[in-house]
Structure 1
Amino acid sequence: MSRVIRCGLIQAHHPLHGDEPVTKHKEAMIAKHLPLIEQAATQGCRIVCLQELFFGPYFCAEQNTKWYEAAEPVPDGPTIKLMQELARKHQIVLIVPVYEESIPGVYYNTAAVIDADGKYLGKYRKNHIPHVQAGENPNTGFWEKFYFKPGNLGYPVFDTAYARIGVYICYDRHFPEPARILGLHGAEIVFNPSATVAGLSEYLWKLEQPAHSVANGFFTGAVNRVGWEEPWNIGEFYGQSYFVDPRGNFLAIGSRDQDEVVVADLDLSMIKEVRNLWQFYRDRRPETYEDIIRLLP
Structure 2
Amino acid sequence: MSDIVKIGLIQATNDVDGNESVANHKKVAIEKHIRLVNEAKEKGAQIVCLQEIFYGPYFCAEQNTKWYDAAEEVPNGPTTKLFQELAKSLGIVIILPIYEREGIATYYNTAAVIDADGSYLGKYRKHHIPQVGVGSEGCGFWEKFYFKPGNLGYTVFDTAFAKVGVYICYDRHFPEGARVLGLKGAEIVFNPSATVAGLSEYLWKIEQPAHAVANGYYVGAINRVGFEAPWNMGEFYGQSYLVDPRGNYVAVASRDKEEVIVAEMDKRIIREVRDLWQFYRDRRPETYEDMTKYLP
TM-score, length-scaled by structure 2: 0.99
Query: Where in structure 2 are the equivalents of 1:239-254 lying within 5 Å?
Result: 239-254=238-253
**Separation in 2, partners of 1:34, 1:118:** 15
- Identity, % of aligned pairs? 69
1:193 equivalent to 2:192? Answer: yes
1:167 equivalent to 2:143? Answer: no
Query: Where in structure 2 are the equivalents of 1:8-47 lying within 5 Å?
Result: 8-47=8-47
Identify the range of structure 1 (263-272 vs 157-166) with the bigger mean alpha-carbon deviation: 263-272
**Separation in 2, partners of 1:90, 1:259:** 22
- The residue that corresponds to 1:80 in the other structure is 80
Q: Does the 8 Å contact 2:46/2:91 carry over to 1?
A: yes
Query: Where in structure 2 are the equivalents of 1:44-123 lying within 5 Å?
Result: 44-123=44-123
1:70-125 per-residue CA deviation (whole Å, 9 max, x = no partner) reads: 00000000000000000000000000000000011110000000000000000000
Shift of 1:2: 7.3
What is the Cα-based RMSD across aligned positions, in Å? 1.0
1:214-259 per-residue CA deviation (whole Å, 9 max, x = no partner) reads: 0000000000000000001110000000000000000000011111
Q: Does the 8 Å contact 2:44/2:262 carry over to 1?
A: no
Q: Which amino acid aligns with 2:217?
A: F
**Separation in 2, partners of 1:233, 1:106:** 28
Q: Does the 8 Å contact 2:195/2:236 carry over to 1?
A: yes
Q: Which amino acid aligns with 1:68?
A: Y
Identify the range of structure 1 (262-271 vs 167-176) with the bigger mean alpha-carbon deviation: 262-271
**Separation in 2, partners of 1:104, 1:61:** 24
Q: Does the 8 Å contact 2:154/2:177 carry over to 1?
A: yes
Runs of 4+ in 1 over 4 A off after TM superposition: none
- The residue that corresponds to 1:142 in the other structure is 141
1:34-65 per-residue CA deviation (whole Å, 9 max, x = no partner) reads: 11100111111000000000000000000000
Identify the range of structure 1 (222-231 vs 278-287) with the bigger mean alpha-carbon deviation: 278-287
- The residue that corresponds to 2:181 in the other structure is 182
Q: Does the 8 Å contact 1:166/1:187 carry over to 2?
A: yes
TM-score, length-scaled by structure 1: 0.98
Shift of 1:136: 2.6
**Separation in 1, partners of 2:274, 2:84:** 34
**SS of the counterpart of 1:63?**
coil
Q: Which amino acid aligns with 1:130?
A: P
**Separation in 1, partners of 2:141, 2:74:** 24
**SS of the counterpart of 2:6?**
strand
1:167-214 per-residue CA deviation (whole Å, 9 max, x = no partner) reads: 010000000001100000000000000000001411100000000000
Q: Does the 8 Å contact 2:113/2:123 carry over to 1?
A: yes
**Separation in 2, partners of 1:282, 1:172:** 25
Identify the range of structure 1 (211-220 vs 2-11) with the bigger mean alpha-carbon deviation: 2-11
Q: Does the 8 Å contact 1:2/1:269 carry over to 2?
A: no
Q: Which amino acid aligns with 1:82?
A: L
- The residue that corresponds to 2:4 in the other structure is 4
Aligned length: 296
**Separation in 1, partners of 2:105, 2:73:** 12
Q: Does the 8 Å contact 2:2/2:161 carry over to 1?
A: no
